[in-house]
Amino acid sequence: MKLIPTLTVSIGLAFTGTALAEHHKEAKEEKPAAEAKAQPKTVVEAAAGNEDFSTLVAAVKAAGLVDTLSSEGPFTVFAPTNAAFEKLPEGTVETLLKPENKDKLVSILTYHVVAGKVMAADVKTMKVKTVQGTEADVKVEDGKVTIDKANVVATDIVTGNGVIHVIDTVILPAE
């Protein structure tokens, strides 16, 4: 099963995957080991440490997915920001966070996750199977990457159990 290639196709930057990889290699060589930032252990820990993901973290908790997304993985998470959640119709997030809507919330959140660790450099136009069970469309066009209709705005937030790519819109599975 081929998963979404790593998103090192840095969105908003005009680097090719190779150029970006060289850029990262140089950056690593310039930093003394003592200055290197500690990598978050899990995708949940990384999201929880960033206030732009507070709505996502609240949703992951309400859906009971903290333990799953804190497990060994690896996972590739397309993480919507708080601003992405704000694009949903008024009251949607509050409704989804209610216990009686847990199954729908789980379905939506797992649609944002792909099994495996896919870095930006590996991304190409393709369909990817989500953990939710259905496929999402990944497109690379003019140096920009989208998943369904969400723009990937930041890539390769590497954790011990996967990688996070930031998206600007909540993606929804077909009903």
pLDDT in tens, 57-107: 999 999 999 999 999 989 999 999 999 999 999 999 999 999 999 999 999
In the predicted structure, residue 144 carries a pLDDT above the cut 50: yes
Under DSSP, is residue 40 helix (H, G, I), strand (E, B) or coil?
A: coil
Q: Is residue 21 part of a domain?
A: yes
What are the tokens at 74? 């690896």
Lowest mean pLDDT among 29-38, 51-60, 94-103, 149-158: 29-38
In the predicted structure, residue 39 carries a pLDDT above the cut 80: no
Residue 102 belongs to domain spanning = 7-25+41-167
Instruction: Classify strands 7-8 and 126-129 as parallel, antiparallel or unpaired.
Output: unpaired
Q: Give the span between the Cα atoms of 53 and 40, in whole angstroms.
A: 15
Please give the backbone phi and psi of residue 109, each rounded to the nearest 5 degrees, phi first.
-65, -40
Query: What's the number of domains the chain is made of?
Result: 1
Q: Give the span between the Cα atoms of 170 and 150, in whole angstroms.
A: 7
* Predicted pLDDT at 174: 85
Q: Is residue 147 part of a domain?
A: yes
The domain that holds 91 is classified in CATH as 2.30.180.10
What are the tokens at 12? 């908003």
Q: Is residue 13 part of a domain?
A: yes
Q: Is residue 64 part of a domain?
A: yes
Q: Give the span between the Cα atoms of 86 and 157, in whole angstroms.
A: 22
Mean residue pLDDT across the chain: 82
